[in-house]
Amino acid sequence: MGATMTETSEAPQPQAGPQPEGDARRVLKVALLGGGTVGSQVARILLDDAEALAARAGARLELVGIAVRNVDAPRDVELPHGLYTTDAEALVGSADLVIELMGGLEPARTHILAALRRGASVVTGNKALLAQDGATLFDEADAHGAELNFEAAVAGAIPIIRPIRESLSGDRITRVLGIVNGTTNFILDAMDTTGAQFADVLAEAQRLGYAEADPTADVEGLDAAAKAAILASLAFHTRVSLDDVRCEGITNVSAADIAAAQDAGLAIKLLAIAELVPLEPADGAEAAHDGAAGAPREGVSVRVHPTLLPRTHPLAAVRGAYNAVFIEAENAGSLMFYGAGAGGAPTASAIMGDVVTTARRLLAGSPGRTGTATRTLPLVGPEAVTTSYSIGLEVADEPGVLARVAAVFAEHGVSIETMRQRIDGAEPASEGAGARPQGRRAELRFVTHRASEAALAATVADIKNLDVVESVTSVLRAEGV
């Protein structure tokens, strides 16, 4: 271990072997990069709970400084002014353990790499950096025997990184479904509750502080996509970066989509989905296991999109800005982890869990390994993934329309599970009934069995070309229906 540890003079202790917990004579120097909402809370906890943390970690965690851009900027939490510095480089050079909460790619990346090269351990919540360039950081940590922990990068306070890396390390995870962005869950939940349109709810969310002035990263699904890449890498022991994630946001989800979902006993959630996909269709070949010789027989699909879920699904009950991650594993079955996905104090809780755990291992003399990639699985595109779809159409209210639309589905091999018809809000008329008022429109909602994206796209294109179809009002994927 390359980290230096300071000991106070009164009672030197041997460095090797486990130390009694509660021995606070040893000191670990902790540097904090970033003094924003989360950083302030982390500093507050390090200072206020110093005795309890020392008892649990086995050493005093001494906050040696907080690197910020402007030492005189106003802060949420009042801390000793002398802790602030603009010299992040020098701060990193003096620490056993570096907490990076600057966010963004640079200079966070440079400081993390500098710390790891010194053998200092790093705790970070930087999802963007991890999703973009995690492999470089993991390799550097392992090369220098340093720890890199990042529980706060996904789903705030919810313990999810450690359970996947450790608790489920003896199982085979097959699928991860996550509500990992609080802003979009807040918006979709409010649309579901009030019946309002996306734009109105977004404006309200901005007013309440649940959405940023520029909400792009949230509502377009980019924030969720970074988390999906991290979850997929850990769950499947392979490497997935942000560029591998197909991403669709919630800006096109309409009040009508939500109402139709409610009618059908469904809820719409923005899900980060990562799943193992067999590469060879069932032809008697054995399922691939990692570590097996030869070409991999399975690939990974990682995507973010609005998704219909049955209201009985545990994820459908996740309200407001809460997050939750649902995991399916071969032996464990279905698991769910639920909690606050953002906010200063909850995120600080995740950071501090990593800090105490990392400190314990530093004191024991051996870091945990960071890299969990034991294999390279191919990323599979939409062509290899099948999903159920919900399709909304506005059609002329004429006899024979349903038959013509159904024929297009059949032509592309897309099987229909359910159909609902609504005529200008009235009760549905039976297909082929007598004379109807000229120019009336009907709304049709289909839910399909699992179909490939290619087959679905071809179906939708041909349906659009039917003269009786006014418009395709929505196309949504569904899980668990």
> Residue 401: in which H helix or E strand, if any?
helix 401-411
344 is in an annotated binding site: no
* Residue 69 DSSP code: S
39 is in an annotated binding site: yes
User: How far, in Å, CA of 266 to CA of 230, rounded?
Assistant: 28
Chain residues 251-290 in contact with a copy of itself, contact rule CB under 8 A: 289-290
Please identify, among the stretches 77-85, 258-266, 341-349, 421-429, the one whose residues bind a copy of itself according to the rule CB under 8 A. 341-349
Binding mask 364-393 for a copy of itself (x = CB under 8 A): xxxxxx-xx-xx------------------
Residue 167 token pair: 């608790």
Residue 228 token pair: 């999906």
Residue 176 token pair: 């991860």
21 is in an annotated binding site: no
Binding mask 27-66 for a copy of itself (x = CB under 8 A): --------------x---x---x-xxxxxxxx--------
Nearer to a copy of itself, 47 or 256 (CB): 47
Phi/psi of residue 466, nearest 5 degrees: -70, 135
Nearer to a copy of itself, 97 or 469 (CB): 97
Closest separation in Å from C-beta 356 to a copy of itself: 4
> Does the protein bind a copy of itself through residue 325 (CB under 8 A)?
no
> Does the protein bind a copy of itself through residue 167 (CB under 8 A)?
yes
Please identify, among the stretches 169-177, 225-233, 377-385, 424-432, the one whose residues bind a copy of itself according to the rule CB under 8 A. 169-177
Exposure letters 355-384 (e unless 16+ CB within 10 A, then b): bbbbbbebbeeebeebbbbeeebebbeeeb
In the 3-class helix/strand/coil scheme, how is 244-276 assigned residue by residue? HCEECCCCCCCHHHHHHHHHCCEEEEEEEEEEE
Question: Known catalytic residue: 227?
Answer: yes
Interface residue with a copy of itself, options 75, 117, 361, 404 (CB under 8 A): 361
> Does the protein bind a copy of itself through residue 145 (CB under 8 A)?
yes
Compute the residue count for the chain: 481
Interface residue with a copy of itself, options 93, 128, 296, 337 (CB under 8 A): 337
Please work out the total of residues on this chain that contact a copy of itself, with binding judged by CB under 8 A: 75
37 is in an annotated binding site: yes
- CB neighbour class for 13 (10 Å; exposed up to 12, middle 13-18, buried from 19): middle
40 is in an annotated binding site: yes
**CA atoms 344, 350, 353, 358: torsion sign:** negative
Nearer to a copy of itself, 251 or 372 (CB): 372
Nearer to a copy of itself, 22 or 104 (CB): 22
Nearer to a copy of itself, 113 or 340 (CB): 340
User: How far, in Å, CA of 311 to CA of 264, rounded?
Assistant: 9
Chain residues 102-141 in contact with a copy of itself, contact rule CB under 8 A: none
**CA atoms 130, 113, 349, 355: torsion sign:** positive
User: How far, in Å, CA of 424 to CA of 68, rounded?
Assistant: 59
- CB neighbour class for 82 (10 Å; exposed up to 12, middle 13-18, buried from 19): exposed
**Beta-strand relationship, 469-478 and 386-396:** antiparallel
Candidates 386, 385, 391; CA nearest to 416 is 391
Interface residue with a copy of itself, options 75, 172, 420, 449 (CB under 8 A): 172
> Does the protein bind a copy of itself through residue 350 (CB under 8 A)?
yes
36 is in an annotated binding site: yes
Alpha carbon separation from 262 to 127, 195, 234, 288 (Å, rounded): 33, 10, 34, 39
269 is in an annotated binding site: no
Q: How many CA atoms lie within 13 A of 323 on its CB side?
A: 24
Nearer to a copy of itself, 37 or 448 (CB): 37
Closest separation in Å from C-beta 311 to a copy of itself: 11
Interface residue with a copy of itself, options 5, 21, 136, 256 (CB under 8 A): 21
Please identify, among the stretches 221-229, 333-341, 392-400, 402-410, the one whose residues bind a copy of itself according to the rule CB under 8 A. 333-341
Closest separation in Å from C-beta 384 to a copy of itself: 22
> Does the protein bind a copy of itself through residue 296 (CB under 8 A)?
no
Nearer to a copy of itself, 364 or 466 (CB): 364
Annotated binding-site positions for NADP(+)? 33-40
Annotated binding-site positions? 33-40, 127, 212
Residues annotated as catalytic (active site), given as ranges: 227
Annotated binding-site positions for NADPH? 127
